[in-house]
Amino acid sequence: MRLDTKQLTRHYEKLTPRERFSLIVAAGIRGDEADREKLMRSAPKKAFSVPNHRGYAEGFADVGNVYIAQQLDTGIWMWRVLAMIEGDQKDSPRWEQCLAMFASRFLVWRKAWRMLCEEYGVDGDAVLSVHPTWKTVQQLAELAELLALSPDEAAVYVHERDEEASLVTAEEICEVLKEAVEERVRWWL
């Protein structure tokens, strides 16, 4: 039996938020953009007010989570390479350079985060100190400090492998993070 969508459409305004959400997701999955739009347009609207700093609060929460995820990902790679060094002593110098590059990447991201926080007048460590993985990130930072190549050494390492490649700078990462914060601010204007 075929579902009569015209009949169902007349009842869209009676859907609970949970039912509407489920139907919007289902319409999106099946590629029915017209039905998805009808479901979204027929939803009752709620008016509310938010403080004028909300975009900054949300933006910083978003980029803070991106920063933490990036640092944990890099940390996992550092630990994987450390395990390879222990398991494959004959190729240890190659893996040690790889480890040093991951440590360098970790420090570049940390510098970018600090630059962003300084620009916005925020104590970045304090902001992230409530994150459940913050202690792990701090421990990884200590390890990275011990293992990282200097920025000049890292640039040489990359250039030796690909003459046209260049390292992403903390300034470039900071700009991307800043744009993400500002995009969230624009949502609330």
Closest CA to 16 of 51, 49, 43: 43
Query: What are the backbone dihedrals phi and psi of residue 136, each rounded to the nearest 5 degrees, phi first?
Result: -65, -45
State residue 110's pLDDT score: 98
CB 105 within 8 A of CB 70: no
pLDDT at 139 over 50: yes
Residue 158 or 70, more confident: 70
State residue 128's pLDDT score: 95
Per-residue pLDDT tens digits for 67-116: 999 999 999 999 999 888 887 666 678 888 999 999 999 999 999 999 99
Q: Take residue 147 and report the two structure tokens written for it.
A: 């293992």
State residue 1's pLDDT score: 44
Residue 57 or 12, more confident: 57
Closest CA to 124 of 137, 139, 140: 137
pLDDT at 182 over 70: yes
Q: Take residue 159 and report the two structure tokens written for it.
A: 């250039």
Q: How far apart are CA 184 and CA 187, in angstroms?
A: 5
Residue entry with tokens 């997701």: 25
Per-residue pLDDT tens digits for 13-26: 878 889 889 989 99
Q: Domain locations in the chain?
A: 11-41, 54-187
Residue entry with tokens 């509310």: 48
Q: For the CA atoms of the chain, what is the radius of gyration?
A: 24
Closest CA to 64 of 177, 145, 142: 177
